């Protein structure tokens, strides 16, 4: 006769379930997406999207805690993606980091006016990206 040896744990009401923040990185460069994923893999669950025009469909299935978006992409630019993201009620205030090689003052000003949380200029510095993502996602938990 088999006996069930599984042990079931009941959480008390005051325990918090710790989960990794969900990050959606949107960039037409597979290399950049791989780098972002590699840098954040230990601290975040990272989804990557190389085709920004598919963002709306992805947001129907995934609920990121943070977006990392490239500014310059061939089909649609990062500035155009922000209103799409903000068009989802659950993402009205979700943090967005712009990651770009075009770090001009004008681009930074436009990004800030759109409600972008942070702006990073390529090339990616792994420790800086990891630190900024950790700080931004920690604010969302508090």
| 17 within some domain | no
| 7 within some domain | no
- Please count the other Cβ atoms lying within 10 Å of the Cβ belonging to residue 22: 15
**CATH number of residue 50's parent domain:** 3.40.50.2300
Domain that includes residue 113, residue range: 22-141
| 14 within some domain | no
Among the listed residues 130, 99, 94, the one whose alpha carbon sits nearest the alpha carbon of residue 32: 99
Chain centroid to Cα 38, Å, comes to 14
Structure confidence at residue 12 as a pLDDT band (50, 70, 90): very low
Task: Give 85-136 pLDDT, tens digit per residue.
Answer: 999 999 999 999 998 887 778 888 888 888 899 989 889 999 999 999 999 9
Among the listed residues 12, 15, 16, 38, the one whose alpha carbon sits nearest the alpha carbon of residue 25: 38
Q: What is residue 1's DSSP assignment?
A: -
Contact 24, 50 (CB under 8 A): no
Give yes or no for residue 82 having a pLDDT over 90. yes
Helices (H) and strands (E) in the chain, counts: 5, 5
């Amino acid at each position: 006769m088999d006996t069930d040896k599984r042990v079931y744990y009941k959480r008390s009401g005051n325990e918090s379930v710790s989960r990794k923040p969900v990050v959606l990185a949107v960039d037409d460069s597979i290399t950049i997406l791989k780098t972002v994923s590699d840098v954040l893999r230990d601290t975040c669950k990272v989804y990557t999207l190389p085709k920004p025009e598919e963002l709306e469909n992805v947001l129907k299935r995934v609920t990121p805690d943070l977006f990392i978006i490239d500014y310059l992409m061939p089909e649609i630019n990062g500035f155009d993606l922000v209103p799409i993201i903000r068009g989802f009620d659950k993402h009205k205030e979700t943090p967005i980091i712009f990651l770009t090689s075009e770090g001009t003052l004008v681009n930074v000003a436009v990004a800030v006016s759109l409600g972008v949380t942070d702006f990073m200029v390529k090339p990616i510095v792994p420790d800086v990206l990891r630190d900024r993502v950790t700080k931004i996602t920690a604010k969302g938990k508090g």
